[in-house]
Structure 1
Amino acid sequence: MPVVELTLAVLALVPPLLGAGRLAKETIKDVVHFPHDAAVLEVRFEICSRKLDATQRLLLSTDRIVKGRLYDSLAKESQKSIYLILTELYVLFISFTQAEANYRLEKEKLPQIPDVSPIDGSSLVKVVLGIETPSDPIYSSKVRWHRRAWWGISGKKKVYRFIEEYEDWLERLRDEILQFWWPLPPFNDAKVLAKLSQDEDAEVSGLSDKASLTSLLLASNDSAVAKDIWLSRDKLRQFRDFKDIGGSRAWGNWTDGRHVLVEYKSDGQDEEGKIEQKTLDRLEQLGLLLKRQSDPRFRVLKFLFLGHQFKEQRIGFVYEFPEGVEAPPNSLISSIPDVSDTNRPPLGVRMNLAFQICQSILLLHTVGWLHKNLRSENIIFFPRAEAAEGDPDLDGPKDLTPPAMRKFDNPWIIGFEFARMENDFSSRRKEDSISRNIYRHPQRWGLPSERHAKIHDIYDLLSALGVMLLEIGLWQKCWQLDETGNGFQDATDPRVVQRVFIEHAKARLGYTAGERYQKLTWLCLQGDAAKAFGIENDDKVDTKLKQALREQVVEVLDDLRRAL
């Protein structure tokens, strides 16, 4: 379908879509004769409807943010996806309202059953169906017992499922827009981003925060704001009492009692051993970025301050521990035992861990925020407080995960002192560490032979994800896969290491993590990502490849974790 026809199709679809949404809302009001459930469902539905309405106005209004429509600024593949998502929402609304209408017609044909409102059997009905207390209006004579039974057994699940699907499709719509807006020329303009970040509909639809983040990536630092993230020299003395935990990290208690994690960076020094001003400026910009982000799906710890230790010539990034955590974290690589095939977490735990990491990295990529040195050392977990045996408030009655494995439910991504922006220069610093090179694309080992082209951003990302997915699936450190037992220390050809990883994925991963997980890991480990994902004639912003990464990796992992 040509681009012009896509725009016309979307414009034609919006009125019936919004009309179907209003019909679904009325259907929910009619279905739910149960006050507590009605209140919850109507609020959730109303929030979704506001987001949908705001998103369509933002996309289709003329000359509001850019000249013409925002929708017309998107790549054709993204326009197709948005049209299909809106179509799915329309089908969802119509299917739900039609199913409820059919139920009501069938119900009217049934013989009338005498009302047995709450007398002797009410408490039993309450227990069996899990509905409200006898004092609730649900037990009034206007609501017959067979209606309450239907709601408790079938109707409630059906309506909640409908709302959940509505929320899922809206989240996908938002992610579709985020993924393909920011690399495009109109959204590399600070004025356009400023309009978006202040637009009311962009705020309602969840797009304004990402516009603010992207504007930070493009703009020079605001000195008035930046000075607030630097610690004064007297507060830097606090660093002396922190406990080193390796990997240029330390932890301790801040002056106000909060537990904090500190990451140190000492790269970018001049000939005199001092940190260059350009490096300080970039770290300051990174601090502002960390301070501004708020999406929990980014899996980024709450950033507090930057500290410049002049004597050591290093910069400390100070993060707050998650709420309720008092013990220091450990990394993914340190959590995997040195002896393979031991203490492997349950499959569901590993699928959820892999999903959260991949989702986070993809979302960071959508706003142009790249992690230059992504590896298992920079995925960390905080030990969870162990609940007393049989305590449902903490463990949950159905939580069968071994206590030692529960920390993997909440991974955090750190190492952002090495992060860089998508349009940034590539570091020319030679990297000899095999433990870092091993996660990189083969062309990025050591000193890059050519300037870091933009397409390599995605290839680098996929290589790092592929190696980590292999480690999670096998529950084995990647350098343990070297048959010589030397951890690839003697490796000189990165292609040889890549082939070793691919062979282990083909031979073993299907048994330890399943065939679908095996396939997506294999895709990520390929050097030529476009060829592996079957991408041809992609555009300059890699729209098709990004879409394939989301659909063939992130969404598959989401399906796998939900199924386990």
Structure 2
Amino acid sequence: MLSKYAAPDDDGFKAVSSHLLGFAEEARRRRREKGELTTMQLELSETNLPPKVSLRDDPHGLQVAKWLMAYRPEEVQHLDIETLVYEARRLEKWDNPNNRDNSSSGSILGKLSQSVQSVVGQSIRRLSSIVSSAAIYAAGSGAVSEKTADQIAAESGVARKVIHDIEESMAGVRIQTRDALLLEPNLLDTIDEATIDEVAAAVGAKPALDLRQNVLGHEPAPDAEELELPRDSIRFRPGGAKAGRFQYGFFEEKPVVIERIPYTPVEGSTDVPPQDLHRVRRMVARLSHPERTSRHVLRCAGYVQDRFEKQIGLVFYLENGGDTASPPAGLHDLYHGSSKEPGKAAKPRHVRVPLGLRFKLAHSLAVALEGLHRVGWMHKGVESKNLVFFPPEANEAGGRGMDAGGLDGPYLFGFEWARPEDAETDLKSDFSLKNNAYRHPNRWGKPNVKFTKAHDVYSLGVVLLELACWKSIFRLKFKNLKDACRCEPEALRREMLKSVREDIPHLVGQSFAAVVETCLRFDEITEGFDELRAHEEFKEKVVGVLRRLATAEV
């Protein structure tokens, strides 16, 4: 079966051999699980492929599909095996120009840098190795009718592993290709071309490319009528929580939450300044785009103006219901416990959160930021007050408020100053220590440098440090936060890094501490990197590590 390879030290021989050994080991494992085999429904039979898909001209793919369909595990009965194999074979062709059909030979992939093509090519070759190994295994498998019940069950286990490996490898190829199309510097001037490319459509990148076009201003500004909602179209919830920044209501009979943003009106009127209104409309257009950057950013319905209060209200659709009798809670609020000030809503009570849940929160925030950066959008306000939770549905009237059970679905808010990466940087002065503590040292006071994604990542590092200690940055006893007049930005960063290296590993482990340090030093670590390489570094060293921690049983 392996005779087509030159020698045992051939790379292809090694890859296919490795997969075959894996399949064989899976078969042996399934045979050992005798107890499960006797209860399995053995109704597998040879299956004829339907005539709708073009695998008929692909004997290699056809053999794999027929074998997988014959031994399809029960839990994937819904899966269209034929389409899965067809798509895998389609992706395989991209790594070999000689195998591409005429429609893909001039693909945008050819304009990627050689290093990026190499990375994508490696992923495609891994997928090709899995499919080739499956074909070899299928060729020697034999008919279902010739096998015992134990053998059929073992084959089903092997099929399960093959399906998992193909799906996982295809997902990797699609994500890498999508990110390359979005972030590869060579394509910035041809993004319009990428949106109609056959490969971009095949990997599902078109919606994200459309959003990136929107972010970069390649699309005309939306009409005000499309985004501004009449104020009387919002039915504010009677008796609902109105906690300053947020208010609940209904729009078109769907539950919404309105985030209110104050503005300074044009002198002598109550109107929003034209430049601010333009930015609001651009921002709402992106937040309402069908392609969501992550599940941690709510979809926006539009905005309303309140000239009397001098506020813009961003209207977001609420998901999964929620206890709208209780106010939303920012992460910052949850650190400190309840307090009741005259004329203000009570803050949520102090919530003690297990370490594993804090890892999940950290991962959620990193995923939210990665999704924004992927399409070229910077948040510019990553702070614990902007990571917001909505209390779960109450079991009894009046609501139960926020507890640890409601912390699995945080949402990122505070988009009033979000901007695309190539926009002009707002260099207005801000000497507020409350705001500057989360900012990169180069962005304190009156900044003289352009805002970058690394500045967002730095702010993420500050929030992760808070999560590790479950305290606000202002309660961590850093000397440089005691006196606003004498606070030195770089000295504060050094203090935080010292704590990360000496104290944080004891609290949350070395891996989490390493993530926090990476964020606080991300500008140094990625100096000289292009956009795609820096994004991959963030995904690997921050999102990837936090994902492993979040999925571990801690």
- Counterpart AA for 1:308: Q
- Counterpart AA for 1:231: L
Equivalents in 2 of 1:553, 1:285: separation in Å? 29
Change in CA separation of 1:211 and 1:31 when aligned onto 2, cut-off 3 Å: same
Equivalents in 2 of 1:184, 1:78: separation in Å? 8
Deviations 1:219-278 (A, max 9, x none): 3665675522211254478599874323xx222222544322112223465444642212
Deviation (angstroms), 1:420: 0.3
Query: Is contact 1:24–1:96 with CA below 8 Å preserved after alignment?
Result: yes
Q: Quick check: 1:554 aligned with 2:543?
A: yes
Query: Is contact 1:332–1:381 with CA below 8 Å preserved after alignment?
Result: yes
Residue aligned with 2:78, SS: helix
Deviation (angstroms), 1:209: 0.4
Deviation (angstroms), 1:422: 0.8
- Counterpart AA for 1:559: R
Query: Is contact 1:441–1:460 with CA below 8 Å preserved after alignment?
Result: yes
Equivalents in 1 of 2:405, 2:274: separation in Å? 43
Partner of 2:87: 50
- Counterpart AA for 1:260: V
Partner of 1:3: none
Query: Is contact 2:107–2:199 with CA below 8 Å preserved after alignment?
Result: no
Q: Percent identity?
A: 21
Partner of 1:384: 392
Query: Is contact 1:301–1:412 with CA below 8 Å preserved after alignment?
Result: yes
Partner of 2:36: none
Partner of 1:465: 460
Residue aligned with 1:178, SS: helix
Note the 1:31-50 alignment, pairs <5 A: 31-32=71-72, 36-37=74-75, 39-43=77-81, 46-47=83-84, 49-50=86-87
Residue aligned with 1:380, SS: strand
Note the 1:226-241 alignment, pairs <5 A: 226-235=224-233
Note the 1:406-445 alignment, pairs <5 A: 406-445=405-444
Change in CA separation of 1:241 and 1:432 when aligned onto 2, cut-off 3 Å: farther
Counterpart selection for 2:476 from 481, 487, 499: 481
Change in CA separation of 1:549 and 1:19 when aligned onto 2, cut-off 3 Å: farther
Q: Quick check: 1:509 aligned with 2:504?
A: yes
Equivalents in 1 of 2:78, 2:167: separation in Å? 14
Change in CA separation of 1:96 and 1:481 when aligned onto 2, cut-off 3 Å: farther
Q: Quick check: 1:369 aligned with 2:377?
A: yes
Query: Is contact 1:338–1:477 with CA below 8 Å preserved after alignment?
Result: no
Q: Quick check: 1:210 aligned with 2:199?
A: no
Equivalents in 1 of 2:80, 2:102: separation in Å? 34
Residue aligned with 1:260, SS: strand
Change in CA separation of 1:560 and 1:179 when aligned onto 2, cut-off 3 Å: same
Note the 1:4-403 alignment, pairs <5 A: 23-32=63-72, 36-37=74-75, 39-43=77-81, 46-47=83-84, 49-50=86-87, 53=90, 68-96=106-134, 104=141, 144-147=148-151, 150=154, 155-156=156-157, 158-184=158-184, 187-189=187-189, 192-198=190-196, 202-219=200-217, 222=220, 226-235=224-233, 243-246=241-244, 249-254=245-250, 256-267=252-263, 269-272=265-268, 274-295=271-292, 297-327=294-324, 328-337=327-336, 344-385=352-393
Residue aligned with 1:317, SS: strand
The root-mean-square deviation of aligned C-alpha atoms, in Å, is 3.9
- Counterpart AA for 1:146: D
- Counterpart AA for 1:510: P
- Counterpart AA for 1:170: M
Residue aligned with 1:319, SS: strand
Deviation (angstroms), 1:184: 4.7
Change in CA separation of 1:317 and 1:62 when aligned onto 2, cut-off 3 Å: farther
Deviation (angstroms), 1:166: 3.0
Deviation (angstroms), 1:519: 1.1
- TM-score if structure 1 supplies the norm length? 0.73
Query: Is contact 2:111–2:187 with CA below 8 Å preserved after alignment?
Result: no
Deviation (angstroms), 1:197: 3.9
Deviations 1:414-462 (A, max 9, x none): 11222101110111222233232112111001210x241xxx5132022
Change in CA separation of 1:379 and 1:51 when aligned onto 2, cut-off 3 Å: farther
Equivalents in 1 of 2:238, 2:426: separation in Å? 31
Change in CA separation of 1:544 and 1:215 when aligned onto 2, cut-off 3 Å: closer
Deviations 1:29-83 (A, max 9, x none): 2323x6x54633445x724753772696699779979x95422322333222211
Equivalents in 2 of 1:203, 1:326: separation in Å? 40
Equivalents in 2 of 1:329, 1:143: separation in Å? 59
Equivalents in 2 of 1:163, 1:489: separation in Å? 58
Residue aligned with 2:304, SS: strand
Equivalents in 2 of 1:485, 1:219: separation in Å? 40
Gaps of 5+ in 2: 1-10, 16-57, 339-349, 397-401
Query: Is contact 1:51–1:205 with CA below 8 Å preserved after alignment?
Result: no
Gaps of 5+ in 1: 1-8, 109-137, 389-402
Equivalents in 1 of 2:95, 2:134: separation in Å? 27
Deviations 1:308-335 (A, max 9, x none): 2223332211001112223342122222
Partner of 2:23: none
Residue aligned with 1:262, SS: strand
Equivalents in 2 of 1:536, 1:318: separation in Å? 38
Residue aligned with 1:93, SS: helix
Equivalents in 1 of 2:219, 2:137: separation in Å? 55
Equivalents in 1 of 2:307, 2:238: separation in Å? 13
Equivalents in 2 of 1:496, 1:338: separation in Å? 30
- Counterpart AA for 2:170: L
Partner of 1:117: none
Equivalents in 2 of 1:479, 1:497: separation in Å? 12
Change in CA separation of 1:319 and 1:48 when aligned onto 2, cut-off 3 Å: farther
Query: Is contact 1:333–1:377 with CA below 8 Å preserved after alignment?
Result: yes
